[in-house]
Amino acid sequence: MGVRADQRQVRKLSAGKVVVVIPTFNERENIGILIEKVQDVFVRGEIEGSILVVDDNSPDGTAEVAGELARKYGNIKILRRRGKLGLGSAYREGFRVALRTMGAGIL
Per-residue b/e over 57-82, b at no fewer than 16 CB within 10 Å?
ebeeebbebbbebbeeeebbbbbebe
Rounded CA-CA distance 68/30 in Å is: 14
CA–CA distance, 25 with 73 (Å, rounded to integer): 22
Least confident of 2-6, 14-18, 82-86: 2-6
Residue 2, pLDDT > 90, answer: no
- The model's pTM is 0.81
CA 4 to chain centre: 18
Q: Across the chain, how many H-helices and E-strands are there?
A: 4, 3
Per-residue confidence (pLDDT) for residue 21, from 0 to 100: 96
Q: What is the pLDDT of residues 57-74, one digit of tens each?
A: 999 999 999 999 999 999
Could you give the residue ranges of the DSSP H alpha helices within the chain?
7-14, 28-44, 62-73, 87-101
Q: What is the reported pLDDT for 23?
A: 97
**Is residue 51 predicted with pLDDT exceeding 50?**
yes
